[in-house]
């Protein structure tokens, strides 16, 4: 096998695909139209009420008041203490990696200040990238503050039992301080749009050849399966990057989404995500008998992607089985990557836990695609 000849054929196929694409007005319109339409449609938020959100606590004052506060926090149903942390740095890292949604910080002299009636401050840091996921939990905090310590404030302390809470919970929204839903939705849309268009377009690429009978001609030439597959993927990688740039421009200039992290890193992980989706489309394309089947497969994949990835509903609000499925989908990880990089300014080390699952997904899919690629007309 001659690599230069292989590359030349791959390029020939990519060129052909580009020319055909440029003559296909409808598809071309879709490439620009779908992102714009979805951006407009999803400009508004979709709310829900997730519970048992993972919470870390940093306790610097171990007293009966602290324990009661924490217990009642858990009793709201919204908070689930998963970890004790001992330093600010550790807390920050957990938030940045998305391990926890909240960090509760009880200050060192909480009890002393409370008893003196100085209204101590409990700091609650929230990962507010997805405002829908945190808003109800934060609302429930108000009632906690008002009633929780009444039982413990007895005897001479009873006078501290006012209508006003004896302490203050100060919420610190991280990453998306104003709780603007577009900050969350718009980066998410990038993943959704890429998933839909990339899988669909390559899904049709092979079946179109088969339906029109041109596959027979392609098969009769010396072009090898891998050359054909790769040649057909290349133009769509370019298209994916164009779409992504369109959405990023809209995010920046229409929705004013903050760009905290490295744009280069964002493009790098997007390239991986695009390639994963294209491989999936290619694999669908090799299995489907006609364009309709390829389309059905795409939607079969697209629905769970949009519903279970944390795009429509906050991931942590979903039942366990749904989270398991969600974790197998590249979109789930891509959403976290985009939000992490754009809103939190994550670096490669921080996002790695969501990079390898996409790589794994792609490896499995490419292997399947190569296995199912029909080298003959049988």
Partner 1 sequence: MTLAIDVRGLNKHFGDKHVVQDLSLQVKQGEIFGFLGPNGSGKTTSIRMLCGLLTPDSGAGQCLGYDVIRETAAIKRHVGYMTQRFSLWEDLTIRENLDFIARMYGMKNRKQAVNAVLVKLGLDERRNQLAGALSGGWKQRLALAACMMHEPQLLLLDEPTAGVDPKARREFWDEIHQLAAQGISVLVSTHYMDEAERCHKLAYIARGKLLITGSAEEVIASQRLTAWEVSGAELQGLAEQLRHLPAVEQVTAFGSRLHVIGGDAALLEAALEPFRQLPGYQWQKIEAGLEDVFISLMERQNDQQEVV
Binding range to partner 1, per CB under 8 A, among 33-41, 111-119, 221-229, 355-363 = 221-229
| Cα R_g (the chain), whole angstroms | 26
Shortest CB 136 distance to partner 1, Å: 53
Q: Pick one of 47, 75, 221, 245: the residue that binds partner 1 (CB under 8 A).
A: 221
- Cα–Cα distances in Å, from 365 out to 121, 369, 371? 52, 6, 10
Q: Pick one of 145, 179, 222, 339: the residue that binds partner 1 (CB under 8 A).
A: 222
- CA nearest to 369, candidates 288, 283, 285: 283
Shortest CB 202 distance to partner 1, Å: 18
Shortest CB 219 distance to partner 1, Å: 6
Q: Is 223 in the site for partner 1 (CB under 8 A)?
A: yes
Token representation of residue 71: 């217990």
Helix (H) or strand (E) holding 59, with range, is: strand 53-59
Residue number with CB closer to partner 1 (9 or 336) = 9
- CA nearest to 269, candidates 322, 220, 342, 211: 342
Q: Is 372 in the site for partner 1 (CB under 8 A)?
A: no
Q: Is 178 in the site for partner 1 (CB under 8 A)?
A: no
Residue number with CB closer to partner 1 (218 or 237) = 218
Binding mask 135-174 for partner 1 (x = CB under 8 A): ----------------------------------------
Q: Is 3 in the site for partner 1 (CB under 8 A)?
A: no
Residue number with CB closer to partner 1 (1 or 41) = 1
Token representation of residue 88: 């600010």
Distance from C-alpha of 266 to C-alpha of 46, rounded to nearest angstrom:
25
| Residues 86-105, interacting with partner 1 (CB under 8 A) | none
Residues 31 and 197: beta-carbon distance below 8 Å? yes
Distance from C-alpha of 141 to C-alpha of 72, rounded to nearest angstrom:
10
**H helix runs in 97-180, sequence order:** 110-115, 131-147
Q: Is 109 helix (H, G, I), strand (E, B) or coil?
A: coil
Q: Pick one of 52, 224, 295, 353: the residue that binds partner 1 (CB under 8 A).
A: 224
Q: Is 290 in the site for partner 1 (CB under 8 A)?
A: no
Question: Rounded to 5 degrees, what angle do the CA atoms 367, 370, 376 make?
Answer: 160
Residues 61 and 107: beta-carbon distance below 8 Å? yes
Binding mask 10-29 for partner 1 (x = CB under 8 A): -xx--xx--xx--xx-----
Q: Pick one of 26, 41, 89, 220: the residue that binds partner 1 (CB under 8 A).
A: 220
| Residues engaged in binding partner 1 (CB under 8 A) | 5, 8-9, 11-12, 15-16, 19-20, 23-24, 212-224, 375-378
């Amino acid at each position: 096998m001659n690599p230069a000849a292989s590359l030349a054929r791959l390029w020939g196929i990519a060129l052909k695909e580009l020319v055909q694409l440029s003559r296909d007005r409808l598809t071309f319109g879709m490439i620009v139209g779908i992102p714009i339409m979805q951006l407009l449609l999803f400009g508004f938020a979709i709310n829900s009420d997730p519970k048992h959100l993972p919470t870390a606590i940093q306790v610097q004052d171990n007293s009966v008041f602290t324990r009661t506060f924490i217990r009642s926090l858990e009793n709201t149903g919204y908070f689930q203490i998963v970890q004790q942390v001992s330093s600010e740095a550790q807390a920050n890292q957990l938030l940045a990696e998305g391990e926890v949604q909240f960090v509760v910080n009880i200050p060192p002299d909480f009890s002393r200040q409370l008893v003196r009636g100085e209204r101590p401050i409990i700091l609650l840091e929230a990962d507010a990238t997805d405002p829908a996921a945190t808003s109800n939990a934060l609302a429930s905090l108000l009632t906690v503050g008002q009633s929780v310590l009444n039982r413990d404030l007895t005897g001479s302390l009873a006078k501290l039992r006012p209508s006003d809470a004896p302490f203050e919970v100060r919420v610190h929204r991280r990453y998306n301080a104003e709780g603007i839903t577009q900050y969350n939705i718009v980066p998410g849309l990038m993943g959704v749009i890429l998933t839909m268009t990339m899988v669909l377009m390559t899904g049709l690429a092979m079946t179109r050849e088969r339906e029109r009978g041109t596959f027979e001609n392609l098969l009769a030439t010396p072009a090898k399966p891998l050359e054909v597959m790769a040649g057909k993927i290349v133009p769509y990688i370019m298209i994916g990057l164009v779409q992504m740039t369109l959405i990023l421009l809209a995010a920046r200039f229409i929705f004013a989404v903050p760009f905290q992290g490295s744009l280069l890193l964002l493009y790098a992980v997007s390239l991986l995500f695009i390639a994963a989706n294209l491989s999936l489309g290619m694999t669908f394309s090799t299995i489907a008998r006609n364009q309709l089947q390829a389309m059905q497969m795409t939607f079969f994949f697209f629905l769970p992607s949009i519903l279970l990835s944390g795009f429509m509903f906050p991931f942590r609000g979903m039942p366990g089985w749904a989270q398991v499925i969600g974790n197998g989908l590249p979109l789930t990880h891509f959403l976290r990557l985009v939000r992490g990089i754009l809103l939190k300014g994550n670096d490669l080390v921080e996002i790695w836990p969501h990079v390898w699952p996409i790589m794994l997904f792609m490896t499995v899919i490419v292997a399947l695609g190569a296995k199912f690629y029909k080298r003959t007309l049988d």
